[in-house]
Amino acid sequence: MLNRWRFLVVTLFTYCLTVERVSTWLIRSGEPVQQRTEFPFIAFLTTERTMCTGSLVSTRAVLTAGHCVCSPLPVVRVRDHTETHCCSM
């Protein structure tokens, strides 16, 4: 029984450390981004196989690499830099 509790505590501790570090993954050119609002023109595209970024060039267009949108159709996530939630386009 003690081993189960020890395993649970170690697992939760590891999870908490990982979740805490996710917010520090905002990196540009090898340097941490100071504020989330520093780059409000960035879009994040995902498919089953790839993850890409793009630049917002208008209210309806994202400029990205061709391999990011070939197939299947990507999910595009754009975050309003004044809010904390994401929404799909």
H-only helix segments in 23-62: none
Residue with tokens 């189960």: 4
The structural architecture, per CATH, of the domain 2-88 is Beta Barrel (2.40)
Residue 15: pLDDT band by 50, 70, 90 thresholds? low
For the chain, give the mean pLDDT.
66
> Which pTM does this prediction carry?
0.42
Q: How many other C-beta atoms lie within 10 A of the C-beta of residue 60? A: 7
- Predicted confidence (pLDDT) per residue in 16-56, tens digit: 555 444 444 566 666 766 665 666 677 777 777 777 878 88
Residue 14's alpha-carbon distances to 3, 23, 54, 59, in angstroms, are 16, 15, 32, 40
